[in-house]
Chain A
Amino acid sequence: MTDAGSGSGRGFSIRSGSAPAPAAEENGADGGKETTDFGDELLPDDAQVDVQSEEAAVHTKEVLDRLDRELVGLVPVKQRIREIGDLLLVDRLRRRFGIESTRPTLHMSFTGSPGTGKTTVALRMAELLHRLGYLRKGHLVSVTRDDLVGQYIGHTAPKTKEVLKRAMGGVLFIDEAYYLYRQENERDYGQETIEILLQIMENERENLVVILAGYKDRMDQFFQSNPGMGSRIAHHINFPDYSLDELLQIALLMLEEQRYEFSPDAEKAFRDYLERRMQQPRFANARSVRNALERSRLRQAARIVANPSQKLNKGDLMRIEAEDILQSRVFDADEATKTNSTGDDPAAEPSWET
């Protein structure tokens, strides 16, 4: 169980700190306010407001722009988040005039392959909802089945409730949520967790946003088995897989963040690597890219250390060469598939270690 700040290590955000409190700069009266209210006075009926100044006051544009800048691809996801942002912004303006409407339900489900940025987007979502005054705190509590479901009778409810209470005022992110429901075991305690979740999702709507995440097909199955859960979630957002170009762009962003760079040859080699790696099983999108880069760093370090008398400059220490990438086992595996039709050499190490 990780709180947002401790870097849960998923997704590929360039800066995955916890959602910071609204910037302290005094930019409009509602700037860094913690609460959802706007002071006591309502605007008179003939007053005029505009979206631009409201947006400036709550700094949402900044969050959305950062989302655009730091997350490659994911067009449908960004689209939907913008829509939600717009709705809440208009809602805010309406409330300033005292036009009552029920608070929109914002429980969401994020489906998609591993490494498509679900956790990262959830983090941004928490920040966005906080700035729009929908959530009072805007922290992200990321949990999995183990944190919610108990091991013996009477253990589950307090455990689930404790997690829910910790998440109140922020976002509860349940990773691999489909594990909560085990079809094959009727007496599984996961069912109890689901019931408590449903109840709190309904009654504590203004204090808690629940985001369920998992693989598309298994989540679909989960919602089919738990119709109550599916119907309480307003936004089902699917994260598409990245294309080759997007993955390359992600790699370049990651390198930039770690102050490394590809030589032109290395960039070509990495593209080649990705092309091969994408065909292999257990390809985890951005996460695989990050792992590949980590291993290139290892090889780069080994190459430098192997030649201790060489004089190095700054560029040498930053540059990853083609040979650092071409040593990857992905390129061998390619050979192996030609000779060995199964391509599944038992002696080879597991293929996520390519």
Chain B
Amino acid sequence: MKVTQGCFSFLPELTDDEIRLQVQYCIELGWAMAIEFTDDPHPRNPLWEMWDLPMFDIKDASAVVFEMNKCREAYPNHYIKVVGYDPSPHRQTTGLDFIVNRPAEEPGFRLDRTELNDRHIAYTVHAYAVDKPHGERYQANGSKGNGSK
């Protein structure tokens, strides 16, 4: 099941050139760029790990593509996203983020139902991948996946 988070996630995977153009667009808006990765793709998990420091003051997207490829090399089976942070006073938040790398196998999510009082039911989305400990996820069949390539 393909995880759809952030921008462009219903489109076919972006090529490196398309990513570069998107990033260039962000840079020209004056945004700072960052790369983040995770192996816990729950939609309510906003805290992905940072790859290196956010990049301020860059002029050209090739720096971001460079770091992105470094991150892909290090974590070929993780979700990786590129984040554009809009520092303008009225916003100060993520302006754009999109996934640029995903594991080859994405087992998806199951829905847990918890019975509460008075026949109420609470629902929880549970990613199959997180049943394994951190760091061992997405490697079950030894696939060396790199979704976007």
Interface membership of A169, Cβ < 8 A: yes
Q: How far is the CB of B71 from chain A (nearest CB, A)?
A: 13
Question: Which of A136, A161, A168, A206 counts the most B-chain CB atoms under 10 A from its CB?
Answer: A168
Q: Does A158 contact B (CB under 8 A)?
A: yes
Contacts of A162 in B (CB 8 A): 53, 55
Query: A165 — nearest CB in chain B belongs to which residue?
Result: B63
Residue B14 CB within 8 A of the other chain: no
> Does the CB pair B52–A207 fall under 8 Å?
no
B53 CB contacts on chain A under 8 angstroms: 158, 162
Q: A164 — which chain B residues lie within 8 A by C-beta?
A: 63
Are the CB atoms of A204 and B62 closer together than 8 Å? Answer: yes
Task: Give the residue name and chain of the B residue nearest to A204 (CB).
Answer: B66
Contacts of A208 on B, CB cut-off 8 Å? 62
Task: Contacts A165-B66, A204-B66, A207-B66 given; indicate if A170 touches B52 (C-beta within 8 A).
Answer: no
Is B67's beta carbon under 8 Å from chain A?
Answer: yes
Q: Is the interface of B mostly helix, strand, loop or mixed?
A: mixed
Q: Is B59 a contact of A169 with CB atoms below 8 Å?
A: yes
Looking across the interface, which residue of chain B has its beta carbon closest to that of A161? Answer: B52
- A169 with B60: in contact, given A158-B52, A158-B53, A162-B53 (CB under 8 Å)? yes
Complex interface bits, B46-59 against A, C-beta within 8 A gives 1, otherwise 0: 00000011010111
Smallest CB separation, B21 vs chain A (Å): 9
Residues in chain B near residue A137, CB distance under 8 A = 59-60
User: In residues 162-202 of chain A, which contact B (Cβ within 8 Å)?
Assistant: 162, 164-166, 168-170
B57 CB contacts on chain A under 8 angstroms? 166
**Mask: chain A, 209-246; 1 = CB below 8 Å from B; 0 = not:** 00000000000000000000000000000000000000
> How far does the alpha carbon of A168 sit from the alpha carbon of B62 in the complex, in Å?
6
The answer to the question of A118 belonging to the interface, with a C-beta cut-off of 8 Å to chain B, is no
B52 touches A139 (CB 8 A): no
Is A168 touching B60 in the complex (CB atoms < 8 A)?
Answer: yes
Task: Tell me, in angstroms, the Cα distance from A170 to B57 when the chains sit together.
Answer: 13
- Which of B53, B57, B60 gathers the greatest number of chain A CB atoms within 10 Å? B60
Q: Which A residues are in CB contact (< 8 Å) with B60?
A: 136-137, 168-170, 207
Chain A 119-148 against B: per-residue CB contact (8 Å), 1 yes, 0 no? 000000000000000001101000000000
- Within the complex, which residue of A158, A161, A207 is in contact with B62, where a contact is CB–CB below 8 Å? A207
Q: Which residues of A contact B62 (CB under 8 A)?
A: 136, 168-169, 204, 206-208
Name the distance in Å between B103's Cβ and chain A's nearest Cβ: 26
Pick from A158, A161, A166: contact of B59, CB below 8 A.
Answer: A166
- Set of chain B residues within 8 Å of A206, measured between Cβ atoms: 62
Residues of A within 8 A of B63 (CB): 164-166, 168-169, 207
The reply to whether A168 and B52 form a contact with Cβ atoms under 8 Å apart is no
**How far, in whole Å, are A169 and B59 apart by their CA atoms in the complex?**
7
Determine the distance from Cα of A158 to Cα of B67 in the docked complex, in whole angstroms. 12
**Smallest CB-CB separation from B63: which chain A residue?**
A165
Residue of A nearest to B33 (CB): A165
In the assembled complex, the CB of A271 is this many whole angstroms from the nearest CB of chain B, namely 43
Q: Which of B52, B66, B67 has the most CB of A within 10 A?
A: B66
For the complex, give the distance between the alpha carbons of A207 and B61 in Å: 10
A139–B59 touching, CB < 8 Å: yes
Residues on the A chain within 8 Å of B55, using CB: 162, 165
Q: How far is the CA of A86 from the CA of B35 in the complex (A)?
A: 39
Question: Separation in Å of the A321 CB from the closest CB of chain B?
Answer: 46
Q: How far is the CA of A143 from the CA of B131 in the complex (A)?
A: 49
How many Å lie between the Cα of A139 and that of B60 in the bound state?
10
CB-defined contacts of B66 to chain A, threshold 8 Å: 165, 168, 204, 207
Residues of B whose CB lies within 8 Å of any CB of A are 52-53, 55, 57-63, 66-67
Additional 18 contacts, C-beta under 8 A, given A165-B63, A204-B62, A204-B66? A136-B62, A137-B59, A137-B60, A158-B52, A158-B53, A162-B53, A165-B66, A166-B63, A168-B58, A168-B60, A168-B66, A169-B61, A169-B62, A170-B60, A206-B62, A207-B60, A207-B62, A208-B62
On A, residues with C-beta under 8 Å from B are 136-137, 139, 158, 161-162, 164-166, 168-170, 204, 206-208
Sample 29 A-B pairs with CB under 8 A, ordered by A number: A136-B60, A137-B59, A158-B52, A161-B52, A162-B53, A162-B55, A164-B63, A165-B55, A165-B58, A165-B63, A165-B66, A165-B67, A166-B57, A166-B58, A166-B59, A166-B63, A168-B58, A168-B60, A168-B63, A169-B60, A169-B61, A169-B62, A170-B59, A204-B66, A206-B62, A207-B62, A207-B63, A207-B66, A208-B62
